[in-house]
């Protein structure tokens, strides 16, 4: 749950035809811990005095935030040895490691972005960490093209299945 404090002023002007209202001042104060992914969005809302967009986008942001938390938690519980949450339960990224392949790491960063129009959408990226020797052996440049391939995989399988397949593929080395 996101907590914040909000102060705003509305100016209502009554002319003979109608009443028009406009927000003339908007201040949004958020806890620094929840702030990091939202800070740019909050400043933009304040600048534009867009009170309504703030609430609307915040709702969608929180939906995505909770979904990300649930998804990561699910994988952490399913594969406790392989999956690590670097920054705790609300971490925006997970690290996938395999005990049998100590030098290899896959980091999936899942950012929740809010664009100029207030639209909220996820942006996932794959980062790889491999030993130097492995890079040298990688003739097909699989590691280099991994981030791009991950994007394609996301498009085909969706977030959950894509993550599951990555975790499984790294763990497969253990058995085979």
Partner 1 sequence: MAGILAPGLTRTLRSLSPLAGQLLEKALGNLRWSRRTLYVQMASPKEVKASIANVEPNLAVEMSEQEVLEEKLENVKAVLQAYRFTGLSGKLTSRGVCVCINTAFEGNLLDSYFVDLVIQKPLRIHHHSVPVFIPLEEIAAKYLQTNIQHFLFSLCEYLNAYSGRKYQADRLQSDFAALLTGPLQRNPLCNLLSFTYKLDPGGQSFPFCARLLYKDLTATLPTDVTVTYQGVDALSTSWEEQRASHETLFCMKPLHQVFASFARKGEKLDMSLVS
The DSSP symbol for 16 reads S
Asked if residue 56 binds partner 1 (CB under 8 A), the reply is yes
Q: Does 12 bind partner 1 (CB under 8 A)?
A: yes
18 φ/ψ angles, rounded to the nearest 5 degrees:
-155, 175
CA-closest candidate to residue 83, choices 152, 162, 145, 166? 166
CA-wise closest residue to 113 among 39, 49, 56, 52: 39
Task: Provide Rg for the chain, Cα atoms.
Answer: 22
132 binds partner 1 (CB under 8 A): no
- Name residue 49's beta-bridge partners: none
Size of the site for partner 1 (CB under 8 A): 36
Any contact of residue 48 with partner 1 (CB under 8 A)? Answer: yes
- Contact with partner 1 (CB under 8 A): which of 35, 51, 95, 109? 51
Q: Say how far apart CA 68 and CA 89 lie, in whole Å.
A: 10
Minimal distance in Å, beta carbon 12 to partner 1? Answer: 5
Closest contact distance (angstroms) between CB of 23 and partner 1 is 4
Question: Does the protein bind partner 1 through residue 149 (CB under 8 A)?
Answer: no
Nearer to partner 1, 28 or 163 (CB): 28
Binding to partner 1 by residue 3, rule CB under 8 A? Answer: yes
User: Is the Cβ–Cβ distance between 51 and 23 less than 8 Å?
Assistant: yes
In sequence order, what are the residues at sequence separation of 6 or more whose Cβ sits closer than 8 angstroms to the Cβ of residue 117?
Answer: none
Contact call for residue 20 and partner 1 (CB under 8 A): yes
Q: What part of residues 62-121 is at the interface with partner 1 (CB under 8 A)?
A: 62, 116-117, 119
The C-alpha atoms of residue 165 and residue 171 are separated, in whole angstroms, by 10
Please select the residue that binds partner 1; options are 36, 59, 122, 161, rule is CB under 8 A.
Answer: 59
Is residue 10 at the binding interface for partner 1, with CB under 8 A as the rule? Answer: yes
Binding residues for partner 1, per CB under 8 A? 1-15, 20-24, 26, 48-53, 55-56, 58-60, 62, 116-117, 119
């Amino acid at each position: 749950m996101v907590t914040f404090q909000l102060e705003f002023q509305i100016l209502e002007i009554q002319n003979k035809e109608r009443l028009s209202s406009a927000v003339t001042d908007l201040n949004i104060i958020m806890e620094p811990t929840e702030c990091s992914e939202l800070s740019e969005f909050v400043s933009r809302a304040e600048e534009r005095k867009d009170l309504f967009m703030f609430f609307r986008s915040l709702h969608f942001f929180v939906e995505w935030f909770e979904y990300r938390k649930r998804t990561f938690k699910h994988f952490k519980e399913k594969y406790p040895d392989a999956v690590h949450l670097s920054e705790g339960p609300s971490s925006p990224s997970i690290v996938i490691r395999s005990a049998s392949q100590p030098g290899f790491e896959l980091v999936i960063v899942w950012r929740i972005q809010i664009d100029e129009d207030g639209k909220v959408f996820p942006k996932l990226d794959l980062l790889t960490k491999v030993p130097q020797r492995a890079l040298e052996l990688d003739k097909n440049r699989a590691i280099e093209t991994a981030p791009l391939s991950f994007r394609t995989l996301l498009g085909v399988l969706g977030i959950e299945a894509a993550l599951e397949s990555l975790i499984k593929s790294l763990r497969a080395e253990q058995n085979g």
